Chains A and B, each alone.
Chain A
Amino acid sequence: MGKSSYWWIIPIIFIVLGVFYPLFNLLVFSGGINFNVLSENKNIIIFTIKQAFISSFLTMIFGLPGAYLVARTRMNKFFKSIFRVLSSVPFVLPGITVSMGFLLAFGKNGLLTNLLSFFGYKERILFTFTAVILGHVFYNFPLFIRIVGETWEKIDGSIIEAGKIDGANNLKILFLLELPNLLPSILKAFSLTYVYTFTSFSIVLILGGIKYSTIEVSIYMYTRILFDFKSALTLAIFQMLLISIFAYFVNFRKQDFQSGKTIKEKFPMWGFIYLILVILFVFVPLSYSLFSGFLTYGGGFGLDNFKRLYSLKLSQFIGTDIKSLIYYSLLLPAISTFIVIFLSTIASYYSVKGKRLDYILIIPAAVSPVTIAFSYILMRFSPLNSLILIYSLISLPIVYSFIESGWRTLNHELEEAALLDGANFWKLNMKIRFPLIKYHLFTAAVYAFTIVLGEMSATITISEPPISTFSIAIYRLLSSRRIPEARALNTIYSFIVFLLFGFIEYLRNLNEKRI
């Protein structure tokens, strides 16, 4: 890669051909831009920008202590694993599962409502701005735990030791030695959170009550209710530009990262308070979400939904047989995960070397998958190609961010030494680089796979038989009002996500034992 230094063009071309060119076609089709729509949606635009900023800021405040605890303290190994797995899951849960979890946790008889009122807090949280923020923190705090946490674990313990010898206290070490090293990863997680909260749709509508609305809601209205593609596209492009400009400025590069084995501090007292907060505001709604599959019609609890699902002729709902459902549900995510890891590895390599790519690589997350899907329909891409393209695009920003944070932890000295020893490009990657960032890679791959598996809107818009996936089955069940069966299937999906993250954790523990 060192010699042919134009490889970075591959991910750029991918985005140009996969996003810009199709959107341009859609623009031509709909007859240009309608600037009026911006002033008409002024309040919604301002609210969207504001809530995304507040949400991401608070997610960061809430996420960083968690990243520290996981990376730098001596936590009980078992609990650490559980914490890491649980805190990875929310990000990929289906919207309806999350909102159900929140409705139950913060609802009239929810555990959290009772607990808060026990401590004298009687205000209703649901259907307020606070609920929107809590929902967003819940969804995105995994980004900080994972992206920042994985990087934090790589900070060389010896610089911290050196700082201590020089008489610096922990706070000084944190601000002067660790944070500068972590800043690129923190900003990465921050930008991603910003994009995802900016384009948030259901959380804002469901948890916010009646007062709040985002740009994405207006885009939906223009495309799906009014069929005014011109206005929809104007808003979509505007949203894309705002986010891209944001990502351009919110990034920071620092060349040297001292990587090594980090030192683990004693688990601090405040850590317990923090854990209690995480349990209350993340794990409690999460468990409610997961167990919503066991919530039966009319408010009971039991295995009824699963029995219903089992006895249902599922093939009726998926338009094909179970075999091809499983085939496509594995094949499509696998192919796109492979593509996206390939593209992200290249892009992030150059980004670490100093090429500004963030503001382009983040764009796929700033356009809703349905808009891209419509542009592909216009261009007559085949369903299979469309899906693979869209799947690779939607997971690109997050996979890129993970791998970039990984590349950043690599020691240049180590690489130079290896090159001097005569290691070639392949050897360098396979023997030195990839093993060092393997948890960044694994996490990225699991996210890519599960995001794709759970993607619903574009999948529905595009799929034709024989292509049928897991999320189509869920959608079809929901749309024919088989709510109990859909809940059961969502719970199954959530457990698959758990298993995958659990598997990474298992590998990690296995590996640590060996060392």
Chain B
Amino acid sequence: MKKVLILIFVLVIILIFSNEITIYTYDSFVSGIGQKVIPIFEKMYGCKVNLLSFGDAGAVLSRLILEKQEPKADVVIGLDQALLEKAIDYDILEKYTPININLLKYKELYNEYGTPYDYGSIAIVYNKEVVKNPPKSFEDLLKPEYKGKIVVEDPRTSSTGLSFLLWTIAVYKEKYLDFWKKFKNNILSITPGWDEAFEMLESGEADIMVSYATDGAYSFYYYNSIKYVPIILSEGAFVQVEYASIIKNTKNKELAKRFLEFLLMDFFQKEVPLNQWMFPVTNVELPEAFKYVPEIDKILEIDASIYEDLERILKEWAKVVIGG
């Protein structure tokens, strides 16, 4: 009986809704998890999904802003907390709460403009062959023994770098610049993006970088060894949450809503760990590799008003660190 009902439900949906939906997202979604889950969604609703990517999530948001008058996308995947705030400011998103939102493990991830689909923590990653006494806290990062050993991504050009800056704000509140004034003496270089920082670690130039908590799991999964070990500093974790939202004035609203609900289903959530290298937001089982992800004991929160103030923060940061 239940199966028949589902079948009828699906048939009705196919008949009612238009059968094409355009989704904007970042590149690694298309080449990764997208390949696994999109065909399932297409089959479920008998529709065609145009999954398009234009670089990183920041580039995607720029594009959405430029297309605001005549949007081409129905759904955007991949805005984090900071980008979501910007998108709300630009008034390009539509409010929606999925009917299966109760699957969400952490209620605090909820946002009326975006459906959270994964989250992960920024971490400090060190080369365990060289760093015998790794830092455990932000205060440790200031120790003279790490002088010239740490590489950080530029928050003006990299989302990883921006998250790290926000992490320091979450820890030190309005005193974050005092931390940076001391910390800059230990920084070897500030790179435009994650790739270049990783190259520094690989070439042996730097021993410590800002990266993600799942790095160890990733390297165990792909290379069967862990040379670069992630740590979450003892002050608490800063978590990056990724959201999917419906674009305002979309013509395919119903299908877009179904897609957001789909993101919370097991079909999608169970693919999150090994494709996105993030944590699922519902109760699905974690793969073995994830035992190499450090435990998150405490999640640090920052005030949403910080996101409104990014311009001032980045300028202050640049003044203190770059000097210009």
Contacts and interface: CB of A to CB of B under 8 A. Distances in A.
B28 A99 contact: no
Nearest to B218: A481
A47 B324 contact: yes
A43 B324 contact: yes
A100 B318 CA distance: 25
A224 B62 contact: yes
Interface in B173-223: 184, 187-192, 195-196, 198-200, 202-205, 218-219, 222-223
Interface stretch (B50-58, B100-108, B109-117): B50-58
A480 B275 CA distance: 9
Nearest to A201: B192
Contacts of B156: 217-218, 220-221, 225
Nearest to A101: B203
Interface string A62-100: 000000000000000000000000000000000010011
B155 A480 contact: no
Contacts of A297: 202, 219, 222-223
B61 interface: yes
A210 B31 contact: no
A304 B188 CA distance: 30
A228 B311 contact: yes
Contacts of A374: 62-63, 66
Contacts of A127: 188-189
A214 to B, nearest CB: 10
B8 to A, nearest CB: 34
B65 interface: yes
Contacts of A256: none
Interface stretch (A342-350, A407-415, A442-450, A471-479): A471-479
A108 interface: yes
Contacts, number: 153
B7 interface: no
Interface stretch (A133-141, A353-361, A417-425, A459-467): A459-467
B324 A295 contact: no
A180 interface: no
B296 interface: no
A377 B66 contact: yes
A461 B310 CA distance: 24
A7 to B, nearest CB: 35
Contacts of B195: 96, 478, 483
Nearest to B61: A227
B65 to A, nearest CB: 6
Given A107-B205, A217-B154, A374-B66, A224 B58 contact: yes
Contacts of B205: 103, 107-108, 126
Nearest to A481: B218
A206 B192 contact: yes
B90 interface: yes
B95 interface: no
Contact of B314 (A208, A225, A463): A225
Contact of B86 (A220, A227, A476): A227
Nearest to B26: A479
Contacts of A205: 154, 157, 189-192, 196
B137 interface: no
A461 to B, nearest CB: 5
Nearest to A202: B192
Given A127-B189, A202-B196, A480-B32, A225 B322 contact: no
B225 interface: yes
A99 B205 CA distance: 12
Interface in A354-379: 374, 377-378
B142 to A, nearest CB: 15
Given A213-B322, A225-B155, A227-B90, A206 B191 contact: yes
Size band of the interface chain A makes with B:
35 or more
Nearest to A228: B311
Taking chain A's interface residues, is the majority helix, strand, or loop, or is none over half, making it mixed?
helix
A299 interface: yes
Nearest to B225: A298
Nearest to A47: B324
B293 interface: no
A317 interface: yes
B162 interface: yes
Nearest to B162: A225
A121 to B, nearest CB: 18
A319 interface: yes
B248 interface: no
A40 interface: yes
A229 B321 CA distance: 24
B38 to A, nearest CB: 12
B283 interface: no
Contacts of B187: 210
A302 B156 CA distance: 36
Interface centre among B188, B192, B198 (most CB of A within 10 A): B192
Given A108-B204, A210-B189, A213-B318, A316 B62 contact: no
Nearest to A483: B198
B314 A226 contact: yes
Which 3 pairs between the two chains have the least Cβ-Cβ distance?
A: A43-B324, A221-B156, A480-B28
17 contacts: A107-B204, A205-B196, A208-B189, A209-B190, A212-B322, A217-B156, A221-B156, A225-B162, A297-B202, A297-B223, A298-B223, A374-B62, A460-B55, A479-B26, A480-B32, A483-B195, A483-B198
Interface of B: 26-28, 30-32, 35, 52-56, 58-59, 61-63, 65-67, 70, 86, 90, 154-157, 162, 184, 187-192, 195-196, 198-200, 202-205, 218-219, 222-223, 225, 227, 277, 310-311, 314-315, 318, 321-324
Interface of A: 29, 40-41, 43-44, 47, 96, 99-100, 103-104, 107-109, 126-127, 201-202, 205-206, 208-213, 217-218, 220-221, 223-229, 295, 297-299, 316-317, 319, 374, 377-378, 380, 457, 460-465, 475-476, 478-481, 483
Given A298-B225, A461-B59, 4 more contacts: A44-B324, A225-B156, A374-B66, A481-B218
